[in-house]
Amino acid sequence: MERLSVNLCGIKLDNPVVPASGTFGFGFEFAELYDINMLGTFSFKGTTKEARFGNPTPRIAECTSGMINAVGLQNPGVDKVISEELPKLKKVFHKKVMANVSGFSVEDYAYTCAKLDSEEQIGWFEVNVSCPNVHGGGMSFGTDPESAAQVTRAVREVTSKPVIIKLSPNVTDIVSIAKACEAAGADGISLINTLLGMRIDLKTKRPVIANKMGGFSGPAILPVALRMVYQVSGAVKIPVVGMGGVSSAEDVIEMMLAGATAVQVGAANLVNPFACKEIIEDLPRVMDKYGIDKLEDIIGGAHNG
């Protein structure tokens, strides 16, 4: 449906709904439930140079209106993603996919993106400088403008594909980091990743998850995400991919009004595996309710008041 389509860094999406990395695996499992080609695209599981087992268990803690996770970038490593996961995906998903990449050094990021660059199905790189669940990498790059810019430049040098930098909300000035990434050659900004949180078990009097702290996600963080998407989209000239607490068609439209070109859905997939499908199907109804003809027309609309 043309009224739902958007353009993300030069690539057309049939709609702006994108399952977020870490909540959709490599897509194959969800393809057994419904035709995932109805999605705009999706961001596949965070991939690193080497295979990672992830953090010790328990890794998940429930919260009011959300959850905390500390999975720790568990993945089979870039070589296995290329040799096993992408061929399986190609059988069930016939659009460009977003490759989510993480690392523990600038060289790691560049190596993994260079490896994936020749894969035809990859449309964008979503470079995660914001994971709060690993030590010595991830978020440590995303909390400093120059560090984030270094990663951006390194990835920009090894690919001609669009590079979208995924930022952490666990900072005091998200705008300065986004602008540094833009200046270093980023084609887009993706935000927000999870907030840093924890739970304590009253019986054991110890943190619930083995990592002590983890990423807080779910509906409770939507207002924070909207605020940061609004701030960043008003400060940069490149597209913003918004996420954080999105669980309905109304949330998607709110994110787009804040300035998002595309909208990722994360924790909602873990609660309801049909969440993205239902959101896409409901978008025309909500658009009609609020007098919206085309979604592209409302991007950043909240800035025009």
* Structural domain boundaries in the chain: 2-303
What pLDDT is recorded for position 136? 47
Q: Each residue of 189-243: pLDDT tens digit?
A: 999 999 999 999 999 999 999 989 999 999 999 999 999 999 999 999 999 999 9
Beta strands in the chain (DSSP E): 6-8, 11-13, 17-19, 60-63, 66-69, 97-101, 122-128, 163-166, 188-191, 195-197, 200-201, 206-207, 214-217, 240-243, 260-265
Cα 105 from Cα 111, distance rounded (Å): 10
Q: Each residue of 28-42: pLDDT tens digit?
A: 999 999 999 999 999
In Å, how far are 15, 132, 234 from 99, measured between CA atoms? 18, 19, 26
Query: What average pLDDT score do residues 15-25 get?
Result: 96
pTM above 0.75, yes or no: yes
Which of 39-48, 141-150, 208-217 bottoms out in mean pLDDT, i.e. has the lowest?
Answer: 141-150
Query: What average pLDDT score do residues 172-192 get?
Result: 97
Cα 265 from Cα 2, distance rounded (Å): 21
Which of 56-60, 138-142, 223-227, 258-262 bottoms out in mean pLDDT, i.e. has the lowest?
Answer: 138-142
**2-303: CATH number:** 3.20.20.70
Residue with tokens 């965070």: 46
What pLDDT is recorded for position 1? 72
Active site residue 63: no
Query: What average pLDDT score do residues 41-61 get?
Result: 92
% of residues, the chain, pLDDT over 70? 96
Q: Choose the catalytic residue: 9, 113, 131, 181.
A: 131
Cα 43 from Cα 130, distance rounded (Å): 15
